[in-house]
Amino acid sequence: MEKLIITAAVNGAETTKEQQPNLPITPDEIAEAAYEVYKAGGSMVHIHARENDGTPTQSKDVYGEIKEKIAEKCNIIFQPSTGGAVWHKAEERIQPVLLKPEMASLTCGTCNFGPDVFMNTEEYIETFAKTMMEHGVKPELEIFDRGMIFNALKLVKKGLVKPPLHFDFVMGVPGAIMGEPRDLVYLAHSIPEGSTWTVAGIGRFELPLAIMAIVMGGHVRVGFEDNIFYSRGVLAESNAQLVARIVRIAKEFGREVATPDEAREILGLGK
Ligand code: KMH
Ligand code: ZN
């Protein structure tokens, strides 16, 4: 089985300092969190830029500052979000792609997102994919529900995304696919042969789905965007603490953990 890629989604757009006091917000805090994740065994960070007061922003300048500060500390893969917050416009969401990161997230459809709607029309998806291709950015195809795989494969047919594909199954968002074992088995068997996949379980789904991915040959995402707890009712100390637990579990199962360069090789980055 290939080595395990561990991604930390260190802050997201929705989590607040009130919910999780150790949430990284400023570029310095985000870079430090990424470095801690790297030292714990993570090979990628998924980032949402924030203003210093915590407001989510898709500003290219803020993402640029974060990218630079992380690169000064370590070679972890920097993956900015193009999902942003539900109220960001498409023109804002695409901004970090202009920095030519190695990867960026690309959500492949619209879904309910708790009380909100996370809007991703065909036009948005195709424009984002095209811009990523023009800037040499590999998309992480974010799948919140089964129909989004259909949309992702349509991008391939139209020549807007080139295989090998990398999917991220975001599971347990209220209003989208749940995070029961059968849901992951279904998604993992619904993507083309030769693709790689990561699972990001929301809240209580994070740990069981991560363990399933370790066993099934998938990859794992943890972090404060998805889950702020270490165990029921106990807040995690840091994103790195959540990563370190996955490293320990993977070792127990005999699954080796990828370094950032090994993750680049597995994902075909820069090819
Ligand atoms: N914040 C969510 C509305 C992504 O990063 O690409 C969307 C999201 C997906 O987090
Ligand atoms: Zn995100």
Of 105, 110, 137, 138, best ligand 1 pocket probe by most atoms within 8 Å of the beta carbon:
105
Neighbour-count burial of 180, counting CB atoms closer than 10 A to its CB (0-12 exposed, 13-18 middle, 19+ buried): middle
List, for residues 109-132, the tens digit of each pLDDT value.
Answer: 999 999 999 999 999 999 999 999
List, for residues 135-156, the tens digit of each pLDDT value.
Answer: 999 999 999 999 999 999 999 9
Ligand 1 atom with minimal separation from the 13 CA? 1
Q: How many domains does the chain have?
A: 1
Ligand nearest to the CA of 105: 1
Residue 260, token pair as written in the block: 């950032």
Please report whether residue 182 resides in a domain. yes
142: amino acid identity, one letter: E
Can you give the residue range of the structural domain that contains 85? 6-267
Tell me, rounded to whole angstroms, the distance of Cα 91 from its chain centroid. Answer: 20
Of 45, 50, 118, best ligand 1 pocket probe by most atoms within 8 Å of the beta carbon:
118
Please report whether residue 1 resides in a domain. no
Ligand 1 atom with minimal separation from the 105 CA? 6
With a 6 Å cutoff on the Cβ, whether 120 touches ligand 1 is no
Strands, DSSP E only, in the chain? 6-9, 44-47, 77-80, 103-107, 111-113, 116-118, 138-143, 166-171, 196-201, 219-222, 229-231, 234-235
Rounded CA-CA distance 21/222 in Å is: 17
With a 6 Å cutoff on the Cβ, whether 38 touches ligand 1 is no
Total number of residues shown for the chain = 271
CB atoms within 10 A of CB 193: 6
With a 6 Å cutoff on the Cβ, whether 81 touches ligand 1 is yes
H or E element in which residue 130 lies = helix 122-134
Q: What is the dihedral of CA 203, 241, 208, 254, to 10 degrees?
A: 160
Please report whether residue 162 resides in a domain. yes
0.95 exceeded by the pTM? yes
| Average pLDDT in the chain | 98
List, for residues 218-250, the tens digit of each pLDDT value.
Answer: 999 999 999 999 999 999 999 999 999 999 999
| CATH code of the domain containing 173 | 3.20.20.70
Whether the pLDDT of residue 271 is over 90: the answer is no
Please report whether residue 103 resides in a domain. yes
pLDDT at 178: 97
Q: How confident is the model at residue 52 (pLDDT cuts 50, 70, 90)?
A: very high
Please report whether residue 243 resides in a domain. yes
